[in-house]
């Protein structure tokens, strides 16, 4: 048996996080029983064998370097180009000639966050906003602050979450931000393998000067789909000292800031941000249980912890799911003829006194046996 025919189509996909995806067309030579894969890095002169593939039908492979199968991420170098060749092999381990070499490059550091800006005129703090980095492997951001545009910049905090786009810098307990002082900021993205982006552009903001800002008054939290705000009158006087924001999402946090506008349309200073949270929906009912009885199916579930549950709605689940009962109890007897072999499926939802409805429970299924009823 001579050398088998080489593969004719071999491709590499780059921009993977410390890994490169390889694919090829299945060998047409009937004598091929597998493939041998070789890699060469930018500092290597010779190709090194990295994989023996014993399945002739396999058409892809992910090169993760020396990473173990249980490790989540590969161990190739970041932002590095690698070259590959693939050889077919026959049953006596004779390899074909090399495929055409291909190359791909691993993902580099995340792109730096864009649009960093600071909000001035806030009391001893600076609200910072930026555009989230689109790289899905970004896990958060590192924030730096300086008292001058040319630095030195000091790391002041880690912000978790790629989709986080804002934070508030209020200094520390020992060193709070000063009044009417300009601070300079830059931010870097960090990915899941702790590779940092280059720094963002520098943004600056100035804290509020000493003159009084609008002072808010504590008001109720967890109102239904609304947030009620109140504040003290400014020296200029104002008859309206409250506002209700309506149509809000359930169980959601909102931040508000208020400032006064005088008769000359001069705008005063922003108040400190006010945090409001709307009332959440009831929790999803849990631990739904069923039992067959002589009269039908007995349903039971764990009562919700909320103190204002008005009732539970029981649903029969099928091609046309429908509500079959509202009950204040945590059990319900579904009266029905128990046809042997028939399956019954149910869900429960909780409804509070304000009409907020929970997510429905997980579906529970019970089948009537061919013999006498028993517990499921």
The class that CATH gives domain 212-280 is mainly beta
Helix, strand, coil percent content, the chain, rounded in steps of 5 = 0, 45, 55
Name which of 130, 126, 142 is nearest 183 in CA terms.
126
DSSP, residue by residue, 1-55: --PPPPPS-EEEE---SS-EEEEEPPP--TTEEEEEEEEEETT-SS-EEEEEE--
- Token reading at 124: 């001893």
Which structure tokens are listed for 67? 């990473």
Instruction: Work out the pLDDT band at 260, boundaries 50, 70, 90.
Output: confident
What tokens appear for 56 in the block? 């002739």
Per-residue pLDDT tens for 77-95?
999 999 999 999 999 999 9
Average pLDDT of the chain is 91
Round to whole Å and give the CA distance between 376 and 371: 13
* Domain 286-367 listed as CATH 2.40.50.140: no
Stronger pLDDT, 271 or 171, i.e. the higher one: 171
pLDDT tens digit sequence for 119-163:
998 888 999 999 999 999 999 999 999 999 998 999 999 999 999
Mean pLDDT (whole number) for 23-45: 92
Whole-number Å distance between alpha carbons of 1 and 18: 39
Contact 21, 29 (CB under 8 A): no
152: cis peptide before it, omega within 30°? yes
Domain span(s) for CATH 2.60.40.10 in the chain: 10-105, 114-206, 212-280, 286-367
Given a cut of 60, is residue 23 above it in pLDDT? yes
- Burial (Cβ within 10 Å: 0-12, 13-18, ≥19) of residue 6: buried
Confidence of residue 218 (pLDDT cuts 50, 70, 90): confident
Q: Are 65 and 18 in contact (CB under 8 A)?
A: yes
Q: What are phi and psi of 346, to 5 degrees?
A: -140, 155
Report the percent of the chain where pLDDT is more than 90: 76
pLDDT value at 372 more than 60 = no
Q: Smallest Cα–Cα separation from 6: which of 100, 103, 104?
A: 100
CATH number of the 114-206 domain:
2.60.40.10
Structure tokens at 285: 């009912």
Judge: domain 10-105, CATH 2.60.40.10: yes
**Residue 371 scores a pLDDT above 80:** no
Given this model, what pLDDT does residue 376 score? 47
| Residue 210 confidence (pLDDT) | 64
145 bridge partner residues: 154, 185
Q: Is the pLDDT of residue 265 over 70?
A: no
357-367 average pLDDT score: 95
């Amino acid at each position: 048996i001579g050398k088998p025919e080489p593969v004719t189509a071999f491709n590499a996909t780059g921009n993977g996080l410390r890994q490169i995806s390889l694919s090829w067309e299945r060998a047409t030579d009937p004598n091929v029983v597998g493939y041998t894969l070789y890699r060469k890095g930018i500092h290597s002169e010779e190709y090194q064998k990295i994989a023996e593939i014993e399945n002739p039908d396999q058409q892809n492979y992910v090169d993760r370097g020396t990473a173990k199968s249980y490790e989540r991420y590969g161990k190739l170098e970041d932002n590095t180009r690698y070259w590959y060749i693939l050889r077919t092999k026959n049953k006596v381990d004779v390899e074909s000639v090399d495929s055409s070499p291909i190359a791909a490059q691993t993902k580099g550091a995340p792109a730096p966050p864009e649009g960093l800006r600071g909000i001035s005129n806030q009391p001893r703090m600076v609200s910072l906003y930026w555009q989230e980095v689109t790289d899905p492997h970004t896990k958060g951001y590192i924030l730096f602050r300086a008292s001058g545009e040319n630095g030195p910049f000091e790391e002041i905090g880690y912000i978790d979450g790629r989709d986080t786009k804002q934070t508030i810098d209020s200094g520390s307990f020992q060193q709070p931000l000063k009044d009417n002082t300009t601070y300079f900021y830059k931010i870097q993205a960090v990915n899941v393998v702790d590779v940092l982006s280059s720094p963002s552009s520098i943004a600056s903001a100035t804290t509020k000067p000493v003159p009084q800002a609008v002072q808010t008054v504590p008001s109720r939290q967890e109102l239904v789909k609304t947030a009620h705000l109140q504040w003290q009158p400014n020296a200029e006087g104002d008859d309206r000292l409250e506002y209700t924001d309506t149509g809000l999402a359930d169980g959601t946090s909102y931040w508000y800031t208020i400032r006064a506008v005088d008769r000359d349309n001069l705008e005063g200073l922003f108040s400190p941000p006010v945090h409001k949270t709307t009332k959440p929906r009831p929790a999803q009912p849990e631990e739904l249980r069923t039992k067959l009885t002589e009269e039908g199916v007995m349903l039971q579930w764990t009562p919700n912890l909320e103190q204002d549950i008005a009732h539970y709605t029981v649903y029969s689940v099928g091609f046309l799911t429908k509500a079959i009962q509202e009950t204040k109890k945590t059990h319900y007897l579904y009266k029905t003829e128990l046809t042997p072999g028939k399956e019954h499926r149910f869900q429960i939802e909780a409804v509070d006194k304000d009409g907020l409805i929970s997510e429905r429970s997980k579906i529970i299924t019970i089948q009537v046996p061919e013999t006498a009823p028993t517990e499921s």
